[in-house]
C-alpha cells in the first residue's frame, strides 16, 4: 500500500519544526524575557549613539550619551564603580563606522526603527541560511528546506537576538555574505563585506587571520581580497577618525567597561577560571590552526574550505569573551555541515558519530525543555514557571565545544575519495593522502 504523503518523513519534520518554533517563541516571550525592563533593547544604544553622532556631531562614547541610553533602558543612569568610574557601561560599544549601518534609521522615531530592525532581522536570518546552503552546495527538497528555516528562526540564539534587537544578526549575515562571495570568486566584494563585518570585531577575530593565511597560500590569485579588505578598513578608520577624533582610546574604555558590565568571560574562562582560560583558548586556537593548515590551499568553493570555515567560526564562539547565546548564530554553518555530511558506519568513525550525536542532543534540548514548559503553561499560570527559565539553557555552554569537536573529527573521516577537491589538489588525491580530506557532499 502506498504510504500517505501526510505521514512522510519531510512532513513529520515540518510539523516538528513548527512545534519547536512555537514552543521556543512562547518561552522567549513569556518566560525568558518576563522580568526585563519594559524598554530594554540592545538596539537602543547603537541607534542613539548613531543618531547623536550623525545628526548632532556628539561623541557616542561620552558619559553623557551613555547616561542618556541608561536612563531610557533602565530608568536611571548606572552607578559608577571602580571598573567603570565614568558609568559608561551599556553605552555605545561599537567602532564609529558601525553608525553607518544604522544611518537609514537615525531620522526615524525609535519605535519605528525597532519595527524596521525586526523585519530586517528575519530577512537577514533567511538570507544567511540561503547563502550557507548555497556555499555548502546543499539543496534539500522544499519541505525540508522550510523545516530547516523554521528551526533556524525558532532557535533560541535567533529568537533571543530578534527579541533583544541585537546587532549580532547583522554581523552574522555579513560573514555569510563574505564567504558566499569568496566561494563565487568575487574576491574584491568579499574583502569589502569582511571589513564591514568587523563592526563587531569579536565575531571575526578568528576568521580574519585564517583568511589571511588562505590568501597568502595563493597570493597571486587571491590578493585582490586582501587589498580590498585593507583598503576598506583604512577607509573605515579614516571615516571613524573624521567622525570622532581620537576614537580608539574611547572605544577601548567603553569595551573594557562593557566587559565588566556583561560578565565578559569566555566559556573556557568559566571552565578553567580566568587565569587559565586564556591559556586554554590559546591551546585550542593553536590546535585548530594545525588541524586547518592543510586546507589553506583549497579553493573557497571546495567542501574542505567550508568545513574549515565552520570549524573556525565554532572556535570563535568558544574563545570570545561572551556567554550570550546569540553569539551562537555563528554555529549555523557548522550544523548545516553536520546535517549534510553523514558519517559512514565504520569502526574507525565511532568517535565522529558519537560527537555528532552529542551535538544534536545538545541542540535539541532547548526545544524539548521549551515544549515541556509550553505544556505546563496550558494548565498553570506563567508565574510559577518563571523559576525554570534556565532549564532550556542548560546545554548552551556545551554546544559550541560539541560542534567544534564534531567538525574537527569530520576532517579525519575518509569514507571515499572526494570528488570536489580544489583543481590543484585532485592530482594529489590520487595518491594516499598525507593530510585530512573531506568526504563528498
Statement: residue 109 has pLDDT above 70: yes
Q: How far is CA 129 from the centre of its chain?
A: 12
Percent of the chain with pLDDT over 70: 89
435 vs 421: CA distance, rounded Å:
13
Q: Is residue 25 assigned to a domain? A: no
Statement: residue 11 has pLDDT above 60: yes
Q: Is residue 440 assigned to a domain? A: no
The single-letter DSSP state of residue 432 is: P
Q: Is residue 358 assigned to a domain? A: yes
Total tally of structural domains belonging to the chain:
1
| Cα within 13 Å of Cα(324), Cβ side | 24
The answer for residues whose C-beta is within 8 angstroms of residue 277's C-beta and 6 or more apart is 265, 266, 268, 269, 270, 271
Residue owning grid cell 551535538: 359
Q: Is residue 102 assigned to a domain? A: yes
pLDDT digits (tens, 9 = 90+) for 200-247: 999 999 999 999 999 999 999 999 999 999 999 999 999 999 999 999
Q: Is residue 434 assigned to a domain? A: no
What are the CA-CA distances from residue 263 to residues 158, 258, 317 (Å)? 21, 8, 15
The answer for residues whose C-beta is within 8 angstroms of residue 137's C-beta and 6 or more apart is 303, 420, 441
Lowest mean pLDDT across 86-90, 260-264, 283-287, 381-385 = 260-264
Compute the average pLDDT of residues 157-182: 96
pLDDT digits (tens, 9 = 90+) for 59-86: 999 999 999 998 988 888 877 777 666 7
Amino acid 336: pLDDT: 95
Q: Which of 125, 228, 104 is nearest to 169 (CA)?
A: 125
Q: Which of 317, 333, 43 is nearest to 204 (CA)?
A: 317
Compute the average pLDDT of residues 132-161: 94
Amino acid 5: pLDDT: 52
List phi, psi (to 5°) of 422. -60, 145
Q: Is residue 110 assigned to a domain? A: yes
Please calculate the CA angle 196-201-205 and round it to the nearest 5 degrees: 110
pLDDT digits (tens, 9 = 90+) for 311-327: 999 999 999 988 889 99
Q: Is residue 28 assigned to a domain? A: no
175 vs 195: CA distance, rounded Å:
10
Statement: residue 427 has pLDDT above 60: no
Per the CB < 8 A criterion, the answer to whether 336 and 132 are in contact is yes
Amino acid 189: pLDDT: 98
Residue 285: give the domain boundaries.
Answer: 39-429
Q: Is residue 24 assigned to a domain? A: no
pLDDT band with cut points at 50, 70 and 90 for residue 419 = very low
Per the CB < 8 A criterion, the answer to whether 306 and 135 are in contact is yes
Amino acid at each position: 500500500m502506498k504510504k500517505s504523503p501526510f505521514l512522510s518523513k519531510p512532513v513529520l519534520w515540518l510539523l516538528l519544526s513548527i512545534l519547536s518554533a512555537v514552543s521556543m517563541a512562547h518561552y522567549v516571550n513569556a518566560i525568558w524575557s518576563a522580568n526585563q525592563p519594559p524598554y530594554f533593547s540592545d538596539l537602543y544604544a547603537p541607534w542613539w549613539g548613531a543618531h547623536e553622532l550623525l545628526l548632532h556631531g556628539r561623541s557616542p562614547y561620552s558619559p553623557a550619551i551613555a547616561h542618556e541610553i541608561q536612563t531610557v533602558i533602565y530608568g536611571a543612569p548606572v552607578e559608577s564603580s571602580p571598573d567603570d568610574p565614568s558609568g559608561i557601561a551599556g553605552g555605545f560599544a561599537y567602532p564609529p563606522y558601525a553608525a553607518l549601518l544604522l544611518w537609514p534609521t537615525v531620522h526615524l522615531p525609535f519605535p519605528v526603527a525597532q519595527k524596521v530592525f525586526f523585519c530586517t532581522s528575519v530577512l537577514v536570518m533567511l538570507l544567511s541560511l540561503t547563502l550557507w546552503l548555497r556555499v555548502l552546495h546543499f539543496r534539500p527538497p522544499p519541505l525540508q528546506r522550510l523545516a530547516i528555516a523554521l528551526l533556524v528562526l525558532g532557535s533560541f540564539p535567533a529568537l533571543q537576538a530578534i527579541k533583544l534587537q541585537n546587532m549580532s544578526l547583522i554581523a552574522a549575515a555579513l560573514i555569510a555574505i563574505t564567504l558566499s562571495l569568496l566561494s563565487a570568486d568575487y574576491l574584491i566584494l568579499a574583502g569589502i563585506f569582511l571589513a564591514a563585518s568587523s563592526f563587531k570585531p569579536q565575531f571575526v577575530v578568528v576568521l580574519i587571520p585564517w583568511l589571511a593565511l588562505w590568501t597568502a597560500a595563493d597570493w597571486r590569485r587571491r590578493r585582490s581580497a586582501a587589498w580590498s579588505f585593507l583598503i576598506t578598513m583604512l577607509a573605515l578608520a579614516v571615516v571613524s577618525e573624521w567622525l570622532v577624533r581620537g576614537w580608539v582610546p574611547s572605544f577601548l574604555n567603553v569595551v573594557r567597561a562593557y566587559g565588566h558590565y556583561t560578565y565578559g568571560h569566555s566559556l573556557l574562562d568559566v571552565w578553567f577560571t580566568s587565569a587559565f582560560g586564556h591559556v586554554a583558548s590559546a591551546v585550542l586556537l593553536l590546535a585548530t590552526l594545525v588541524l586547518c593548515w592543510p586546507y589553506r590551499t583549497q579553493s573557497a568553493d571546495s567542501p574542505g574550505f567550508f568545513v574549515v570555515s565552520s570549524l573556525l567560526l565554532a572556535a570563535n564562539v568558544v574563545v570570545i569573551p561572551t556567554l550570550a547565546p546569540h553569539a551562537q548564530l555563528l554555529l549555523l554553518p557548522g550544523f548545516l555541515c553536520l546535517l549534510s555530511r553523514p558519517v559512514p558506519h565504520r569502526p574507525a568513525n565511532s568517535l565522529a558519530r558519537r560527537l555528532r550525536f552529542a551535538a544534536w542532543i545538545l541542540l535539541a534540548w532547548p526545544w524539548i525543555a521549551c515544549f515541556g514548559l509550553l505544556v505546563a503553561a496550558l494548565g498553570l499560570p506563567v508565574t510559577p514557571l518563571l523559576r525554570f527559565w534556565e532549564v532550556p539553557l542548560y546545554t548552551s555552554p556545551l554546544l559550541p565545544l560539541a560542534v567544534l569537536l564534531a567538525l574537527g573529527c569530520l576532517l579525519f573521516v575518509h569514507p571515499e575519495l572526494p570528488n570536489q577537491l580544489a583543481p590543484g589538489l585532485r592530482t594529489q588525491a590520487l595518491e594516499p593522502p598525507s593530510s585530512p580530506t573531506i568526504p563528498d557532499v
